């Protein structure tokens, strides 16, 4: 299957950060990307601020090879993925297959827990910076970092830049 212009966005079923999902998704769709939303269960996911969105596929259905990029969205619900085998495998496979791999806010810690930030410069929500450091990332307080095909950001304030960076990385 062609991966041309296909993006996977992984969100928590409860408590994803609304702007971190909505803003990059809109930017990606406006740039012509087809976005698939994945979560731990099917149905309608609910953001921290009340946004509702349809889950297209569950984590166990994801085939990373089908996508150009994999994006993990933060928010309090993303903490559930720090030790979720399926989420961690998706991150590992994304990097292994040379895909753009991105994490915003607390979700950058998913990438760290998967071992894919080791030796990489990365930004995140300050509350998970210790996890990034413990897993060998070069934590940056800058708010936004691109290191090779890995893109990380600290949260809602950089959500638009995060989305634009993913578009640029795939162009």
| Tally of domains in the chain | 1
Query: Distance (Å, rounded) from C-alpha 27 to C-alpha 167?
Result: 8
State pLDDT tens for residues 106-150.
Answer: 999 999 999 999 999 999 999 999 999 999 999 999 999 999 999
* pLDDT of res. 2: 46
User: Would residue 154 count as lying in a domain?
Assistant: yes
Query: Distance (Å, rounded) from C-alpha 151 to C-alpha 163?
Result: 10
| 1 confidence band (pLDDT: 50, 70, 90) | very low
Q: Token pair of 112, please?
A: 């760290």
User: Would residue 20 count as lying in a domain?
Assistant: yes
* pLDDT of res. 40: 98
Least confident interval from 1-15, 56-70, 131-145, 151-165 = 1-15
31 burial (CB, 10 Å; 0-12 / 13-18 / 19+) is middle
User: Would residue 97 count as lying in a domain?
Assistant: yes
3-state DSSP helix/strand/coil % of the chain, to nearest 5: 40, 25, 30
CA distances to 71, 118, 134, 142 from 138, in Å: 20, 8, 10, 12
Query: Distance (Å, rounded) from C-alpha 139 to C-alpha 132?
Result: 6
Structural domain that includes position 147: 6-170
| 3 confidence band (pLDDT: 50, 70, 90) | low
User: Would residue 1 count as lying in a domain?
Assistant: no
User: Would residue 63 count as lying in a domain?
Assistant: yes
Mean pLDDT of all residues in 44-64:
98
Sign of the C-alpha dihedral computed for residues 124, 130, 136 and 139 taken in this order: positive
The CATH number given to whatever domain includes residue 50 is 3.40.50.880
Query: Distance (Å, rounded) from C-alpha 91 to C-alpha 28?
Result: 19
Is the model's pLDDT at 11 over the cut of 90?
Answer: yes
């Amino acid at each position: 299957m062609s991966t041309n212009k296909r993006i996977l966005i992984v969100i928590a079923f409860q408590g994803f950060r609304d702007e971190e999902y909505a803003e990059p998704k809109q930017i990606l769709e406006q740039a012509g990307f087809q976005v698939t939303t994945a979560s731990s269960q099917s149905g309608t996911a609910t953001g921290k601020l009340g946004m509702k969105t349809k889950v297209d596929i569950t984590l166990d259905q994801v085939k990373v090879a089908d996508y150009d990029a994999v994006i993990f969205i933060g928010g309090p619900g993303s903490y559930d993925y720090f030790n979720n085998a399926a989420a961690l495998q998706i991150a590992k496979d994304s990097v292994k297959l040379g895909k753009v791999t991105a994490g915003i806010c607390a979700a950058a810690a998913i990438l760290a827990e998967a071992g894919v930030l080791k030796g990489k410069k990365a930004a995140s929500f300050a509350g998970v910076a210790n996890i990034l450091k413990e897993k060998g990332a070069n934590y940056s307080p800058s708010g936004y970092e691109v290191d090779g095909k890995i893109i990380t950001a600290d949260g809602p304030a950089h959500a638009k830049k995060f989305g634009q960076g993913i578009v640029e990385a795939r162009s």
